[in-house]
Amino acid sequence: MKRLTSIIVALLFIMGVASIGITAETAGKAEDKCVKCHKKEKAMDKVIEKKKIKTTAELLKAVKEGPKAKLHAKLTDDDIKVAAKELKLAE
């Protein structure tokens, strides 16, 4: 019985570590959240060039208040800020 318990504990531990790993992978890379929709001619670098977006504040405004705000409803400020950083926009 003791052995079974230790196997179960070990399994739970491994599953816990794996799920933390998966969460860490999905978090962090915010640009992936944009790239899901922003591909090819809609790629983020092209969008910011066309819309003349130069700063993080302008990006936040364009994403949250722009004509496509509804499509962006699931994105958090942090997602947008990380994307801004990856696009090398000013603060």
- Which residues of the chain form contacts with ligand HEC (CB under 6 A)? 30, 33-34, 36-38, 42, 44, 47, 51, 53, 59, 62-63, 66-68, 71-72, 75, 79-80, 83
Q: How far apart are CA 54 and CA 2, in angstroms?
A: 62
Distance between first and last Cα of the chain:
59
83 versus 91: smaller Cβ distance to ligand HEC: 83
Give me the least distance between CB of 62 and ligand HEC, in Å please. 4
Cβ proximity of 32 and 71 under 8 Å: no
Give me the least distance between CB of 50 and ligand HEC, in Å please. 8
Q: How far apart are CA 78 and CA 11, in angstroms?
A: 34
17 versus 73: smaller Cβ distance to ligand HEC: 73
Give me the least distance between CB of 27 and ligand HEC, in Å please. 13
Q: How far apart are CA 49 and CA 44, in angstroms?
A: 8
